[in-house]
Every structure is written in C-alpha cells, then in structure tokens.
Structure 1
Amino acid sequence: MKKKIIFLSNGNFSVPSLNYLIKNQKKYNLIIKSIITSKKNIINNEKNLIKKIALKNNINIIYSEYIYKNIKNIINLKPDLLIIISFKYLKKKIWNIPKLGTINIHPSLLPQYKGANPINWVIINGEKKTGLTSFFINKIIDSGKIILQKKININNKITYKKLYKLLSKKTKKFLIKTIKKILTKEKLKLAPKINNYYSKIYWNYSINKIYNLIRGLPYNKPAWCFINTNNKIQIFNIYKIKIINYKHNNFNGKILLKNKNVYISAKNGYIKLLKCNIANKKVIKNINIYNGLINYKNLFVF
C-alpha cells in the first residue's frame, strides 16, 4: 500500500526535493496527497515555486495561512507522514496527525546552528563543514529526534548563494534516504535465553556463523549437533574450532579425518575440531579427537 505524504514548504529551497518526490512517487511507493504552502505568489521576495509546482501537477493545495482551519481536511487525508522543508513553526495538533510522524529537513548539522538562517551563519563563522539533518518534529524548534545526518565540507570561497543551491540539491536524495529509514524499520536484535534450540549447529550455515555460535556459548552450554558413528546416533558437543575457507563438493556435515586432524564440511569451507566430546563422555582435544573417531565408519554430523 502506498504511503500518503503531505508536503509543507514556504521556501524555494525545497523545490528540488518536491520535484524529485513527485517524479519518483511510484518508484518509492508514495503518494503526495497535498501540498501545504503560502497562498501568496511571492514569498521571501521570490516567486512561490512550490505553489506553481502543486498547480502544475494537479496536487491538492492547503494554504498555510489557513492551516489550522483545515485540520479536519488534513485528518481526512489520513497522511502517513508529513514532510517539512522551509516552513514556519507548527503546532502539535498538526504535527501529531500522521501515524509515522512529522519530519523536518534542516540545512545544518544539528544541534549546531538551530534557527532560521543556518546557511548564512556557517559561512559568517568560517566553518569548514556543514550538512543536512532530518529529524522528527516535537514541541521545541529544531530539537526532535535525529533520523539521519549528512556532512558536507565547505571551503573559504563559497558564498551563501552557492551553498544554498548545493544544500538544496543534495536535500532531494537525503529526503528519500530519510523516508526509507522511517518506512523500513530496522529489525531489533533480541537476546533470548540460551537453550538447546538456539545452541544447535546446523551444517548448512556458513563456517563463520558456526564459528560465532560456538565461541558465543558458555562452556556448560556448548554448541551441539548429532553425530553418526557406525550408524549409532549420539549428541556431539563442540567447544572450540578453527575455520578453513575452502571450496569443496562434500555434503554439509561430512566428517573427514586427515593428517591426524578432524574436519567437518560446511557451507563454504571446513571447521577443524579442536575441543569436543560425545555427550556424557570426557572432553577431548586435538589428536585425541582423531584417535577417538578413527575406528568409526560412516561418520557425519547433522
């Protein structure tokens, strides 16, 4: 399902971002339900290109002068996300409407240069870098939870006009990255209690994954699998291994005895057994593993 966007802007800084968003709505599975901008044709001594873009693309306009009179209309649009670039202070009753939140793109590396004119002040103060920050709107201006930041190096020859254009241009893809991060929530990594389910070795895993499992478990709860010895199935605990990256055609879990060492084939190589035991038997190391298995036939683990 397409995510519904409302775009708020009273400044031409956001023109590249708005045009890019309109052009790539289908690509990113988005739909711009409305654009909120000033009713005036001239704002900040410039033509209101945001209004012009909305009219050209037949996108519903809500005029910012009447935004609080149009709260019901905004709610009825059921927006998933409000995007703010170059806009005035917004009250909670608006920014609290969308279920995914309201985000702002600010042309500085917050928390530095909060306020209305960050582009001017980084040059006035002789800064060597600036950037873009995306964050969720809250009650305090330019102080919400940061989503992403992009650093941009600047030299001592750049002017306000050039930096304005540079940051404006870079905002369009930065905005998309921000939206993607919001829509694609990072999967939380959990840490459940270790039990036999989590400590079992599956031999179709990569050798690195097997290695990480073995070294990540305590001595009293080692990684384990089943071992077939002369067609007798037993529990096999593994405490320490060495991994060997090597392409092979053996099935995963095949046991090979070579040069007094024991190897088990896995997805992308072998593991060399250094410390292990069959359940309820003594833990053995290195050559003793080889000696303990040499007389068995049809050896494999699973």
Structure 2
Amino acid sequence: MLVGSGTIACDCLNEIVRYVNGSNIHVMEIVESSLSFLKEQCKKNSVEYIPCLRENILEHFMRYTKEGEILIISANNEYIFPAELVKQENVTIINFHYSLLPAYRGVNIPTWVIYNEEKYTGVTWHYATDQIDHGKIIAQKEIEITESTTAFDIVRKGMKIGNILFVDFIKELLNGEKMGYDVEYSVDSKLFRKSILPQGGVLDLTDTAHNIQKLLRAYDYHGSNVIPPLKTKIKDQLWQVVRYEIREQKDTELPEMDFMENDLIVNKDGGKIHIVLRKV
C-alpha cells in the first residue's frame, strides 16, 4: 500500500510497479484538491486509487490488514499512524521524512531548518513506530543549506534524493530482507507541530535585513499552500507577502523603507529586498 501525494509518491509508485503486479497495489491519498497527479499515475499503471478523508483513512487501512502481510509506504504524507495499526504483527510501515532523523521530528521542517540557520538538513526513510518520526533508519542523505536556499528548494531536492534512496532499497525490502539501524531518540527531543510557525507567521520589518531575508526564504514554498502565507503590518494594516526579490547591493538613493501601493522596498544593512504585498 502507498499513502501520500506529490512527486515522490508518484515516483515511488513507478518503482513499485516494476516488482509488484498492479492488482496487488493499493494507493491512498488524503484528498484536499480536485487535481491529483497520483490519481493519474495510478490510472496509467492500472493501480487502485482510493481518495480518503482524514477521518476515515484508518478504516481503509484496517480493511486491508486482514489480507495477510502488508507493507505501507508513506511518502509525503502527514497522516499519523495510530498504535492500533502500527503494532499489528502483519503490518510494516516505512515513512519518508524531511530531516536527518533523529533531529527535527514533526512537520514544516524545511521552514524550521532555514529559520534556525542550520548548515545542513536532509531526508530520511525509516520504519514507523507508534511515536511520531521514530524508528530504525533505512536510508538518509544530507542536503546543504546556503544563504539563498528556500523551503521549496529543500522540498524539491528532498523529493529527488528520497526517490534515489527508495530505488536503492525497495527491491530488497519487498523481498523480505531485514534492513535499517537504530539511532538514539532523546526523550525530550522537540516535535515540530503544524500549529506553530517561526515568529507566528509575522514578518517584523524593524528586524535586520538578514533576519527578514531568512524568514522570507523559510516561508517560500513557491506559491504552494504548505503553510499559511507570511504576513506583516504597515501602519495598522495587515498585509500578506505575495512574492519577493532579494538583491545584494543596497540602493543608496532610497530610504531604509519605501512603501507605495502594494510594493515595499526594504533597503538596509547592505542589501535591498523588494516585497510585493496584498491586503488581508
């Protein structure tokens, strides 16, 4: 079974059908939009596609656990597998995660690693347990973070690397080979939750240019709705960040901050940031 969405879920499916007959593969996706590339990929490969709501996805899983040994592959999926499913003896679950576990468990990790000014992050395939983002590591690889890296860059690179790693181990896993190694998960390790975002999702224009740029990059998912758009306040009016452009050189002819209609220029600390805004 495959549960997830996006490019990496499609890539995983394309690899699985090389070794497993399409009639023995079931794909589940939590439906949040009418457009699904995964649905099209299932149709192309003659694989059952099951659109689910969050509240009834467990019901679908439990139905298939009665059919013998089940491998569940979680790729770009935010559904938290409950203990009643994970602890079943005939169920094995592997999960794709956007960090180098055991560090950075939880969600929105590309945002947090940029905000925390990490030099590296990465991706991990691991066995799932009844704890979030815990379990033996199957494979992982680093991703470098530079001064220009955005959250979208990490997601895009992560999906490519995740698929490469998956191709390397999936045949052996399907053949029943034991793999993976233990890592130490600290009891008090931080779990990043969806409801908590850096600076509460608000851009402080009095901050340094470095910190403004960092927050813009941390929230930049190339227009997708992974997290709510960054907001800022100007003269008691709340604005939403639509797009931005960062330039290295400060414009000596402009003031530190210039705002006209929906265009904001932040011009300080040796750099210039052009931000296009929309009223909230």
| d(CA) in 1 for partners of 2:57, 2:49 | 11
| d(CA) in 1 for partners of 2:26, 2:13 | 12
Letter in 2 for 1:166: K
1:8 alignment partner, one of 3, 6, 9: 3
Is residue 9–residue 38 contact of structure 2 (8 Å, CA) maintained in 1?
no
| d(CA) in 2 for partners of 1:33, 1:152 | 31
Q: How does 1:233-244 map to 2 (within 5 A)?
A: none
SS at match of 1:101: strand
Is residue 62–residue 85 contact of structure 2 (8 Å, CA) maintained in 1?
no
| Residues 70 and 185 of structure 1, relative CA distance in 2, 3 Å threshold | closer
Q: CA deviation at 1:51?
A: 2.9
C-alpha deviations, 1:170-195, integer Å up to 9, x for none?
A: 11121233434534337xxxxxxxxx
Is residue 40–residue 48 contact of structure 1 (8 Å, CA) maintained in 2?
no
Matched, 1:49 2:41: no
Corresponding position of 2:28: 36
Matched, 1:150 2:141: yes
Q: Taking structure 1 as the reference length, what is the TM-score of the superposition?
A: 0.50
Is residue 2–residue 13 contact of structure 2 (8 Å, CA) maintained in 1?
no
C-alpha deviations, 1:76-122, integer Å up to 9, x for none?
A: 45454110022211113333457461000101101111111111111
C-alpha deviations, 1:249-278, integer Å up to 9, x for none?
A: xxxxxxxxxxxxxxxxxxxxxxxxxxxxxx
Is residue 132–residue 150 contact of structure 1 (8 Å, CA) maintained in 2?
yes
Is residue 80–residue 98 contact of structure 1 (8 Å, CA) maintained in 2?
no
Corresponding position of 1:263: none
| Residues 17 and 50 of structure 1, relative CA distance in 2, 3 Å threshold | closer
Is residue 122–residue 140 contact of structure 2 (8 Å, CA) maintained in 1?
yes
Q: How does 1:229-268 map to 2 (within 5 A)?
A: none
Matched, 1:185 2:202: no
Cα RMSD, aligned residues only: 2.6
Corresponding position of 1:284: none
SS at match of 2:76: coil
Q: CA deviation at 1:70?
A: 2.5
C-alpha deviations, 1:231-257, integer Å up to 9, x for none?
A: xxxxxxxxxxxxxxxxxxxxxxxxxxx
Aligned length: 173
Unaligned runs of 5+ in 2: 180-280
Corresponding position of 1:70: 60
Is residue 95–residue 127 contact of structure 2 (8 Å, CA) maintained in 1?
yes
| d(CA) in 1 for partners of 2:88, 2:40 | 26
Is residue 8–residue 159 contact of structure 2 (8 Å, CA) maintained in 1?
yes
Unaligned runs of 5+ in 1: 1-5, 187-302
| Residues 170 and 83 of structure 1, relative CA distance in 2, 3 Å threshold | same
Is residue 37–residue 62 contact of structure 1 (8 Å, CA) maintained in 2?
yes
| d(CA) in 2 for partners of 1:100, 1:38 | 20
1:114 alignment partner, one of 105, 109, 132: 105
Letter in 1 for 2:159: S
Letter in 1 for 2:46: N
Q: CA deviation at 1:125?
A: 1.6
Is residue 120–residue 160 contact of structure 1 (8 Å, CA) maintained in 2?
yes
Is residue 65–residue 91 contact of structure 2 (8 Å, CA) maintained in 1?
no
